[in-house]
Chains A and B, each alone.
Chain A
């Protein structure tokens, strides 16, 4: 089809945004959906349509790894080899797929049927080892599932049977976030309202002032559940009162931290909770425009949330004069395109603005000058979903569920070597031991626990004797790690820590945005050393080099990605130094069968 035929659709998309350039990612998606890849002609068309130099269009196309710069097969098979999948056998999965398709990652089968892509964490670790065929997640990829996947992958997308729906363990009994998760196909408007939905928004809009809402959320001790744990009410209070510029509310649904898979369930099974949370939050900060930034691989999340947004519009909960209160709110979904860094709140804003996902310099902070240089609050999906509960049941109730410094529950994501990987809602006061042993059924195959990452791959690793710790932000910080995104990655005694760290370091090297020199160069440097060590060519003194390089990366960059890349290096090597030294001394190598003795 001719690109000019997309002009009408492009105009509609551009109209959603404050500036044309912000339509960059959606226009590239539009092109790719219609043409299969982003051709140079398409880059020129996008540039012309948005008034952006072609060079900058290409910067964006090459930054996000879901955009294809060359033609691809009829279907794309993405296979995750990040740490949580690695722990459950993604190495073997990848080997079999390569063998059977006869291609390497990045290649397309000769018949043009399928392109194989090796990807970093798709945040579906509850079904690991897993893959994604076009839009559908699939896993765990045991032999049977692999047979189905490989057969389907070769079929024409129009006529093939859908892959079976994965059935991991997902909490459904609340008390706050998962009460409607039993609705596997999604909780839609009528059912949401019947379950008490939108009552909190009604209460806020009709009976409260924005200050009262902020106070209530502050009293609830709600802390940002994206990873940083900043008190949500306090964050909202930073927005200047009576701002002459518009204020934006942005929901961070760029779930990307390896080991984390909760926001997808919130959006797919309870999307109105997010919308209601956004209505209340927008009211509190004086915003009339909300964006939801959903990671590119979450196709279904975006579709379901869009359906809920359309319902909310139809029922008068979005748009002009919400429920006759005079309050206006529009919500726009902005899809990412494959870049972990866009989960960093300012990179996320740059990405909405149509740029590469580069974190912004601070100061100024987003609450003062964020999206389109206007006051902006970015909240994680899960945090926003807690807000309706707080308004409906009161701050005291929410606060009482948690600890002294953090109210409520979290959707803990447990993956790795446990019997039952899944999403578990629990009070933030729950201990790591209880999550692993009670909720997730303990370490699988009767093996012993070796190490746990309590809050996503960036968090420092804890050893088996450190798991009697509460999962709230303060307790985990005191334990020398962090609560992060609530992604608990469990490693049993068979885990080779060199391999685990090699995998983590590859993730950070792949995902560094490349803006700041210490991170751009440091992540690649560390990964190259670890790859060499893993191949059996390391030297003992390089362990100290690794620690020093990691130390040099810390605290010197625009965002904390570099710090997050440094922490695993420091904690793995420090806590498992003997294993690393033994690995190097023995001349073993990762992935070789004779190296099965690893760990010693």
Chain B
């Protein structure tokens, strides 16, 4: 393996590594615009110029293969002057409309100017005029004047989606980014171009003028839009309800995970977060007794009483959801199936959604594989439980998350409350099923709680709370543990972290894992090829 020196520090890297990659391994950041590790090398922006001994000219680090004995300087006067020059060229025709640019605050023209520029600008000419605020499609807005023509987006649509929408037309400083006239950028991964655009040329229409990025908080989590489990960062406004129509979630950005989604995210997932702030269940609803408002305490008391009152555990049914975390599914299993002998399943007759051979999976829930590992798939099924309930064989039915009308049809669903002593619905959002239930328990969105999901490929991944549960909603795990207490089934765990440890001890695939060991990248715990049971 070649051994080279960068800024006086030695490193050995595999042959074929480029200088920019080797530097990164040493923690030395070389600025870049056109370079993106997920795309081919374009070498056009020239900002990554470094000095390589024995080379008369500065070299671009993104295309420079390492060689044994190579000596690289990224901070020499020569290299710094080269970067300064390149930056001044890049900014020459840039409109500098930062005050009205959504990229401001996360713009690499701003960042690199502060870190590598700081020159006195000499450009006094009329700047090139190009098109501004061009709607490329439902989600992406183009500003040709801000574009530095790095071609990342062109390469993304050529190499990743292979849809080829983008082109750079004309030449010289008349060159401009655009789509073929009349075309629309609406491929299923289109908005990734906003993420990879290093400047404010491509921005998100949904985010347009919503908030300055420095007001945003960020929390790492996993997308629950399908069983792929793409890693994401949730960007939210914790304390500025006057912005974004009061919604906390502002936008979602893909978070790099080599094993799951690399740098990318589908638009379906990206724009599938409206439910976190809209149509939420914010308060417990139940039969009014003595004019008192329903509370968590009255609800859980009534529910535990009904469960205890059932003549037989088998007259209690639970239709769990693969939207629940592994910890919650484990609690459902331990409390209802193990302790009470209730009928429990997470299998529901859900129609598969659209899918492709890249990231989008047909299973639109995040944790089917987790439910499978916990034995909650296929062992019973929701349809049978509902039919038995309608036949009068159940006293209590608890439906987690699912819309019974959607799954079982209007006719069956509407009969459920009459046939059951108690129909409980717990979920995050309003639904027709919620209106049928005797008790409605508002639960936390997964971005409001701790836990784990196992994706389609058998990878165990952490989710964590970005912000507290909405309104009076509570995390499912908390609800389940409270219920267990009221049922006199004391559980010694204090929270998801401990539930997980118990789960891991009980279920071999989870082995000796802990939250710390799972880390931010997740761990493969089951073979990738084994398809999750439907």
132-172 of chain B: CB within 8 A of chain A = 148-149, 158, 163-172
Q: Which residues of A contact B158 (CB under 8 A)?
A: 53
355-393 of chain A: CB within 8 A of chain B = 356, 361, 363
Binds A, one of B100-108, B119-127, B234-242: B119-127
Q: Can you list, as one digit per residue, whether each of A500-527 has a CB less than 8 Å from chain B (1) or not (0)?
A: 0000000001111111111011111100
Q: Does the CB pair A63–B170 fall under 8 Å?
A: yes
Q: Does the CB pair B65–A509 fall under 8 Å?
A: no
Q: Does the CB pair B165–A523 fall under 8 Å?
A: no
Q: Which residues of B contact A58 (CB under 8 A)?
A: 167, 169, 180-181
Task: Provide the bound-state CA to CA distance between A98 and B379, in Å.
Answer: 87
Q: Which residues of A contact B181 (CB under 8 A)?
A: 40, 58
175-204 of chain B: CB within 8 A of chain A = 175, 179-183
Q: Does the CB pair A510–B172 fall under 8 Å?
A: yes
Whose C-beta in chain A lies nearest to the C-beta of B44? Answer: A515
Binds A, one of B89-97, B318-326, B434-442: B89-97
Q: Does the CB pair A558–B180 fall under 8 Å?
A: no
Task: Provide the bound-state CA to CA distance between A52 and B532, in Å.
Answer: 39
Selected contact of A56 from candidates B88, B89, B167, CB within 8 Å: B167
- Known contacts: A55-B166, A59-B168, A552-B89. The answer to whether A517 contacts B44 by CB under 8 A is yes
Q: Does the CB pair B169–A521 fall under 8 Å?
A: no
Selected contact of A54 from candidates B92, B171, B180, CB within 8 Å: B180
Q: Does the CB pair B92–A521 fall under 8 Å?
A: yes
Whether, in the assembled complex, B407 has its beta carbon less than 8 Å from a beta carbon of chain A, the answer is no
Selected contact of A514 from candidates B45, B123, B171, CB within 8 Å: B171
Q: Does the CB pair A517–B172 fall under 8 Å?
A: no
Whose C-beta in chain A lies nearest to the C-beta of B162? Answer: A53
Q: Does the CB pair B171–A557 fall under 8 Å?
A: no
Q: Does the CB pair A555–B172 fall under 8 Å?
A: no
Q: Which residues of A contact B171 (CB under 8 A)?
A: 62-63, 339, 356, 512-514
Q: Does the CB pair B125–A528 fall under 8 Å?
A: yes
Whose C-beta in chain A lies nearest to the C-beta of B57? Answer: A555
Task: Provide the bound-state CA to CA distance between A356 and B174, in Å.
Answer: 14
Whether, in the assembled complex, A497 has its beta carbon less than 8 Å from a beta carbon of chain B, the answer is no
Task: Provide the bound-state CA to CA distance between A361 and B57, in Å.
Answer: 14
Task: Provide the bound-state CA to CA distance between A62 and B41, in Å.
Answer: 23
Q: Which residues of A contact B93 (CB under 8 A)?
A: 521, 524
Contact residues of A: prevailing secondary structure? helix
Q: Which residues of B contact A54 (CB under 8 A)?
A: 164, 180, 183
- How many chain A residues touch B (Cβ–Cβ < 8 Å)? 43
- Known contacts: A512-B172, A517-B45, A525-B123. The answer to whether A363 contacts B166 by CB under 8 A is no
Whose C-beta in chain B lies nearest to the C-beta of A59? Answer: B167
Q: Can you list, as one digit per residue, whether each of A28-58 has a CB less than 8 Å from chain B (1) or not (0)?
A: 0000000000001001000000001111101
Cβ distance A19 to chain B, nearest Cβ, rounded Å: 16
Q: Does the CB pair B44–A529 fall under 8 Å?
A: no
Q: Which residues of A contact B179 (CB under 8 A)?
A: 55
Q: Which residues of B contact A43 (CB under 8 A)?
A: 180
- Known contacts: A58-B180, A522-B89, A529-B125. The answer to whether A514 contacts B164 by CB under 8 A is no
Q: Can you list, as one digit per residue, whether each of A56-78 has a CB less than 8 Å from chain B (1) or not (0)?
A: 10110011000000000000000
Whether, in the assembled complex, B314 has its beta carbon less than 8 Å from a beta carbon of chain A, the answer is no
Cβ distance B154 to chain A, nearest Cβ, rounded Å: 8
Q: Which residues of B contact A11 (CB under 8 A)?
A: none
Whether, in the assembled complex, B173 has its beta carbon less than 8 Å from a beta carbon of chain A, the answer is yes
Whether, in the assembled complex, A548 has its beta carbon less than 8 Å from a beta carbon of chain B, the answer is yes
Cβ distance A206 to chain B, nearest Cβ, rounded Å: 42
Selected contact of B85 from candidates A40, A511, A515, A518, CB within 8 Å: A518
Q: Does the CB pair B170–A62 fall under 8 Å?
A: yes
Cβ distance A509 to chain B, nearest Cβ, rounded Å: 6
Task: Provide the bound-state CA to CA distance between A443 and B58, in Å.
Answer: 42
Q: Does the CB pair B58–A555 fall under 8 Å?
A: yes
Selected contact of A516 from candidates B46, B92, B123, B168, CB within 8 Å: B46
Q: Does the CB pair A520–B175 fall under 8 Å?
A: yes
Whose C-beta in chain B lies nearest to the C-beta of A555? Answer: B57
Whether, in the assembled complex, B49 has its beta carbon less than 8 Å from a beta carbon of chain A, the answer is yes
Q: Which residues of B contact A511 (CB under 8 A)?
A: 172
Whether, in the assembled complex, A18 has its beta carbon less than 8 Å from a beta carbon of chain B, the answer is no
Cβ distance B309 to chain A, nearest Cβ, rounded Å: 67
Q: Does the CB pair A548–B89 fall under 8 Å?
A: no
Q: Which residues of A contact B211 (CB under 8 A)?
A: none
Whether, in the assembled complex, A549 has its beta carbon less than 8 Å from a beta carbon of chain B, the answer is yes
Q: Does the CB pair A509–B172 fall under 8 Å?
A: yes
Whether, in the assembled complex, A545 has its beta carbon less than 8 Å from a beta carbon of chain B, the answer is yes
Q: Which residues of A contact B524 (CB under 8 A)?
A: none
Whether, in the assembled complex, B219 has its beta carbon less than 8 Å from a beta carbon of chain A, the answer is no
Whether, in the assembled complex, B302 has its beta carbon less than 8 Å from a beta carbon of chain A, the answer is no
Whether, in the assembled complex, B82 has its beta carbon less than 8 Å from a beta carbon of chain A, the answer is yes
Task: Provide the bound-state CA to CA distance between A545 and B149, in Å.
Answer: 25
Cβ distance A466 to chain B, nearest Cβ, rounded Å: 25
Q: Which residues of A contact B49 (CB under 8 A)?
A: 556
Whether, in the assembled complex, A532 has its beta carbon less than 8 Å from a beta carbon of chain B, the answer is yes
Whether, in the assembled complex, B355 has its beta carbon less than 8 Å from a beta carbon of chain A, the answer is no
Whose C-beta in chain A lies nearest to the C-beta of B165? Answer: A55
Cβ distance B156 to chain A, nearest Cβ, rounded Å: 13
Whether, in the assembled complex, B63 has its beta carbon less than 8 Å from a beta carbon of chain A, the answer is yes
Q: Does the CB pair B86–A556 fall under 8 Å?
A: yes
48-86 of chain B: CB within 8 A of chain A = 49, 56-58, 60, 63, 65, 82, 85-86
Q: Which of A510, A511, A520, A528: most chain B CB closer than 10 A?
A: A520
Given contacts A555-B56, A558-B44, 10 further A-B contacts (CB under 8 A): A58-B169, A62-B170, A512-B172, A513-B172, A514-B168, A517-B89, A521-B90, A522-B89, A524-B173, A525-B123
Residues of A within 8 A of B (CB): 40, 43, 52-56, 58-59, 62-63, 339, 356, 361, 363, 509-518, 520-525, 528-529, 532, 545, 548-549, 552-553, 555-558
5 A/B residue pairs, CB under 8 Å, sorted by A: A511-B172, A517-B46, A518-B89, A520-B175, A525-B92
Give the 6 A-B residue pairs with the shortest CB-CB distance, closest first. Answer: A53-B164, A55-B167, A524-B173, A552-B85, A514-B175, A521-B89
